[in-house]
């Protein structure tokens, strides 16, 4: 990666919506498709993820879309405390995704188990099973934090240090 390209990526905070969409297009072919998977949660994070599609946050204006198929996904967005039953499903979903692929762990449960950490069914944080590119803490994280986490995942893959 050239130095001028890295410098341009570091200035995302100053980009308008059109500029952010153009930047994403350079890396993921005009759009970024997200596959969301819940591996065992209380559904609080899911309600915040769902809010990204409403008219207020309007995820689509940035070229970000949810997909039901891991074969079409660029990002795996994981919520919930990883349970024994969902560990193989999570791994299969990740393996089905084309490269380059990003993994984003969302919420306290995905990061370290939260209130479910002492459960006998808790398998550990998501990063104990998959390589995670970005962590979004919160119980639940708000939609702005989710958008920022997706941005961090893209930039971390490109080797850009965030402030």
- Domain tally for the chain? 1
Q: What CATH number is associated with residue 107?
A: 3.40.50.12280
Q: What is the pLDDT of residue 148?
A: 86
Within a domain: residue 137?
yes
Within a domain: residue 106?
yes
Q: What is the pLDDT of residue 156?
A: 66
Within a domain: residue 26?
no
Tens of pLDDT along 89-123? 999 999 999 988 899 999 998 988 887 878 888 88
User: Span 14-35, mean pLDDT?
Assistant: 62
Between 2 and 160, the higher pLDDT residue: 160
Structure-token pair, residue 115: 């209130």
Domain span holding position 37: 31-153
Tens of pLDDT along 63-86? 888 999 999 999 999 999 899 899
Beta strands (DSSP E) in 57-162 are 64-66, 75-79, 82-83, 102-106, 122-124, 134-136
Within a domain: residue 24?
no
Cα Rg of the chain, angstroms: 16
Within a domain: residue 11?
no
Within a domain: residue 143?
yes
Task: Tell the residue number behind the tokens 């153009």, with chain if given.
Answer: 22
Within a domain: residue 14?
no
Report in angstroms the alpha-carbon separations of 69 from 6, 64, 94.
31, 15, 11
Give the confidence band of 18 by pLDDT, cuts at 50, 70, 90. low
The DSSP 8-state label assigned to residue 55 in this structure reads: T
Tens of pLDDT along 134-150? 899 999 999 989 988 88
- Of 113, 122, 21, the C-alpha closest to 64 is 21
How far is 53 from 51, CA to CA, in rounded Å? 5
Q: What is the pLDDT of residue 153?
A: 78
Q: What is the pLDDT of residue 72?
A: 92
Between 104 and 58, the higher pLDDT residue: 104
How deeply is 99 buried, as exposed, middle or buried, from its count of CB atoms within 10 A (0-12, 13-18, 19+)? exposed
Within a domain: residue 89?
yes
CB 83 within 8 A of CB 41: no
């Amino acid at each position: 990666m050239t130095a001028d390209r890295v410098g341009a990526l570091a200035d995302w905070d100053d980009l308008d919506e059109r500029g952010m969409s153009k930047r994403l297009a350079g890396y993921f072919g005009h759009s970024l498709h997200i596959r969301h998977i819940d591996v065992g949660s209380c559904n609080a994070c899911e309600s915040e993820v769902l809010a990204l599609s409403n008219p207020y946050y309007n995820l689509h204006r940035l070229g970000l879309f949810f997909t039901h198929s891991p074969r079409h996904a660029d990002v795996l967005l994981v919520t919930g405390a990883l349970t024994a039953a969902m560990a193989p499903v999570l791994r299969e979903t990740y393996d089905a995704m084309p490269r380059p692929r990003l993994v984003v762990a969302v919420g306290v449960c995905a990061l370290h188990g939260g209130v479910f950490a002492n459960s006998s069914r808790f398998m550990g944080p998501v990063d104990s099973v998959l390589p995670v590119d970005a962590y979004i803490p919160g119980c639940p994280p708000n939609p702005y934090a989710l958008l920022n986490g997706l941005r961090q995942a893209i930039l971390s893959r490109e080797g850009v240090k965030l402030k």
